[in-house]
Amino acid sequence: MNSEAKWGYGLVAPTIIGLLILNIWPFIQTLILSFTNAKKFGSYDFVGLTNYVRMFQSTEFWQATWNSIYFCILTVPVGIILALLLAVFLNSKIKGKVVFRAIYFLPMVVAPVAVAMVWKWMFNSNYGIINDVLGLHIDWLTNPHLAIVSCAVVSIWSSVGYDAVLLLSGLQNVPKTLYEAADLDGATKIQQFFHVTLPMVSPTLFMVIIMRLMSSLKVYDIMYMMISESNPALLDTQSLMYLFYRESFVIGSKGYGSAIVVWTVVLIGIVTALQFWGQKKWVNYDV
Amino acid sequence: MKRLWKTIIVSALVLLTVFAVSGCGTTDENADTGGTTTLTFRIWDTAQKDGMEKIAQAYMEKNPNIKIEVQVTSWDEYWTKLEAGVTSGTAPDIFWMHPNEILEYADAGILADCSSIVDESHYSDNSINLASGSDGTLYGVPKDKDTVGLVYNKELFDAAGVSYPNADWTWDDLTAASEKIYDTTGKYGFMAYADEQLGYWNFVYQAGGYIVDTEAQKAGFEDEATKEALEFYINLQKNDWCPDQNYFAQTSPGDTFFSGNGAMFLEGDWNILSECENNPEMNGKWDVAVLPKCPNPVRGDGRASVSNGLCNATTADGKHKEEAMDFLEFLGSEEAQRIQGESGAAIPAYIGLEQTWVDVFKEKNYDIDVENFIEMFDYAVTSPIDKSRPSWKTAVNAQLLKIYSGSQTYEEGLQNMQDLVDQAMVGY
């Protein structure tokens, strides 16, 4: 190894060591735990595939898996389209642009727990402001079909500003000359958006989609705050991570909880792999 | 020269990283400086922090070489943290134990045997049971005891022309009053929601039923009395005067009550003081009564109030076990228990000191008859304790919710609850 390489390794070492200790090693431990009947106080026996067999036979588990996927379907497309529109809007020549950027970014700065708390009040079917304004009585949080949609609304609301800022940085890297050339060729604004803006911003867009998908599949905090243990819509709403939390920390079966986590990792892996395979068809890296 | 600078900077960075990584473990090591020992005392209730600190203060005055730090962790995190602490050897020196958890901790050999530092004659059998392991040994020093009472809004009763709840009330009076209040004022009557100690458990024991029989390793959901009581309790939500489970998932009965939208709900004594403090404008407009009794119990006299109690404990192999045991002994003394009562934190487990807690309300000019909580100790029932409970609690609750929502019949639900608990008990 030459001395330059040594320096290189030395400089990345703190990050790599941190990653190994804080992320990789716990994951390996989780993997091991998923083959045990670990309960409390760290004692356990290996039980082979029992946890996985129990998991794949559990309707609650499949419901949670579907809930996680459904949550992605609800949040990702709408969230990304809104973020893109917002980014284009914030990139145009309007007054007070900086103020708007700050306002849309604000939800990202607020603690997710506080966000969920406030939305929970607004969604309250008896005393909440939403039903009050609409003059209706809708069970936003306790109707088994609606509760997950309500959670999705909160998730989109809190993430759209952050995604828009990321996309905005992508938009600002698009050279003005391209638009000038398109203008000369007689392209309309809409044509410009689809044939210039979208391809040019696609690498950023791809990154944002991946990140949003992962965080939607891992959703936990919003649901935990808005859907309590006594909510009749719990089983129709809880995500895999919520199920994992309840199994591991409320009920205390760490082994089974670990199996759920491993499954979630596999699920995210599959979705991400599909994304990377699909990106070849639409992401444009030639600038 | 450039080379040298690089080396200096890199070494500095490496050193910083090492410090940052090792930094997490250093606080504990430095705890014993200057001959004083620092003990950590972990609790979960912010409302009781002052009371616990006063006790610690009294102890520290007598033992200048001991410093006690009271740490509050929220209930939701408490057990996750304590378990992690116990597993990794970083548990606090003294901590609160809850009957839900004590059996698992005690039976795993984690808690120190406290039988030599507790004079059992000062505590009720309830208190002793709730601080014991499956082997009958004391693994904690009883801290407090509680009962559940019926809290009611006087103004709504007056408006509806219904007389206030009293010791002669039965379930029938409860429903009749609720109906009248709803018809006259449009406000909710008795708010019956899916809760254990603050809900159906009381009704089950009043009817003569039971939740678990640890001797027979069986749940009580097949018992005739349990069934009758549960049916009565669950069906309360079918009345217009009681909000349904959808409502309670979003708005707590307490919030409804203190906003003047509901007339009655079951409340534990441990919440009363903070409710007085948080709702000063309601002072004098609400009160508490003993629980209404079952009019036609299958067994017994129809009276019951589910009583729980915490204890203070330490680990069997703690670093400062000797000091911790000494402080634990103090926590069980009359002096410490009196401070606890006088601070209003909780009703002392120590027999004869109940009045100290009652007097707090008089001193602070809260016009509320909390003596009723004390009165119910005469027929208090120990909260059902069973080692397997953490593993069936959520599942049973889920079944109950299914009955409430109508997605499963009452009979099916109860059968499932029975099976769930029976299976869980076998596994332990």
Kindly report, residue by residue over A2-35, the tens digit of the pLDDT: 888 899 999 999 999 999 999 999 999 999 999 9
**Over 80: is that where the pLDDT of B11 sits?**
no
**Over 80: is that where the pLDDT of A264 sits?**
yes
pLDDT (0 to 100) of residue B16 = 53
**Over 80: is that where the pLDDT of A122 sits?**
yes
pLDDT (0 to 100) of residue B295 = 93
From chain B, the residues in CB contact with A7 under 8 A are 10
Number of domains present in the structure of chain B: 2
First to last CA, chain B: 70
Q: Are residues B163 and B135 part of one domain?
A: no
Task: Tell me whether residues A229 and B404 touch, CB distance under 8 A.
Answer: no
Q: Are residues B337 and B319 part of one domain?
A: yes
Q: Where exactly are the structural domains of chain A?
A: 59-223+261-282
**Over 90: is that where the pLDDT of B290 sits?**
yes
Residue of B94, B122, B97 lying closest to B108 (CA atoms): B97
Over residues B321-328, the mean pLDDT reads 92
Q: Are residues B192 and B113 part of one domain?
A: no
pLDDT (0 to 100) of residue A156 = 94
Over residues B275-291, the mean pLDDT reads 93
A207-223 per-position pLDDT tens digit = 999 999 999 999 999 99
Q: Are residues B238 and B92 part of one domain?
A: no
pLDDT (0 to 100) of residue B318 = 86
- B26 — pLDDT class (breaks 50, 70, 90): very low
What percentage of chain B reaches a pLDDT higher than 90? 69
Q: Are residues B135 and B153 part of one domain?
A: no
Nearest residue of A to residue B401 by CA position?
A232
Task: Tell me whether residues A234 and B108 touch, CB distance under 8 A.
Answer: no
Is B138 part of any domain? yes
Q: Are residues B273 and B169 part of one domain?
A: yes
pLDDT (0 to 100) of residue B7 = 58
Over residues A220-236, the mean pLDDT reads 88
Q: Are residues B193 and B96 part of one domain?
A: no
In sign, the C-alpha dihedral spanning B329, B331, B332, B335 is positive
From chain A, the residues in CB contact with B87 under 8 A are 41-42
Name the more confident of B32 and A128: A128
Q: Are residues B179 and B131 part of one domain?
A: no
> pTM of the prediction?
0.82
In sign, the C-alpha dihedral spanning B258, B263, B264, B265 is negative
- B72 — pLDDT class (breaks 50, 70, 90): very high
pLDDT (0 to 100) of residue B12 = 56
Is B210 part of any domain? yes
Least confident span in A95-99, B292-296, B367-371: A95-99
Is B363 part of any domain? no
Strand ranges for B154-310 from DSSP E = 188-190, 212-213, 218-219, 262-268, 286-289, 305-307
Domain that holds residue B112: 36-145+308-352
pLDDT (0 to 100) of residue B387 = 82
Nearest residue of A to residue B392 by CA position?
A251
Q: Are residues B199 and B91 part of one domain?
A: no
Give the DSSP per-residue string, A203-226.
Answer: HHHHHHHHHHHHHHHT--HHHHHH
B176-200 per-position pLDDT tens digit = 999 999 999 999 999 999 999 999 9
Q: Does A130 touch chain B (CB under 8 A)?
A: no
Task: Tell me whether residues B249 and A230 touch, CB distance under 8 A.
Answer: yes
pLDDT (0 to 100) of residue B428 = 66
What percentage of chain A reaches a pLDDT higher than 90? 53
Q: Does A3 touch chain B (CB under 8 A)?
A: no
From chain A, the residues in CB contact with B79 under 8 A are 249
- A100 — pLDDT class (breaks 50, 70, 90): confident
Q: Are residues B294 and B209 part of one domain?
A: yes
Is B405 part of any domain? yes
pLDDT (0 to 100) of residue B159 = 94
pLDDT (0 to 100) of residue B28 = 45
Q: Are residues B301 and B261 part of one domain?
A: yes
- B29 — pLDDT class (breaks 50, 70, 90): very low
pLDDT (0 to 100) of residue B6 = 60
**Over 90: is that where the pLDDT of B100 sits?**
no
pLDDT (0 to 100) of residue A276 = 87
Q: Does A22 touch chain B (CB under 8 A)?
A: no
B110-128 per-position pLDDT tens digit = 999 999 999 889 999 889 9
Name the more confident of B389 and B139: B139
The Cα A118–Cα A161 span in angstroms is 18
Give the Å distances, CA to CA, from B311 to B29, B91, B101, B126, B132.
Answer: 28, 16, 11, 12, 10
Residue B123, judged by CB atoms within 10 A of its CB (0-12, 13-18, 19+), counts as buried
pLDDT (0 to 100) of residue B373 = 94
What percentage of chain B reaches a pLDDT higher than 70? 92
pLDDT (0 to 100) of residue B303 = 94
CATH number, domain A59-223+261-282: 1.10.3720.10
B221-265 per-position pLDDT tens digit = 999 999 999 999 999 999 999 999 989 988 899 999 999 999 999
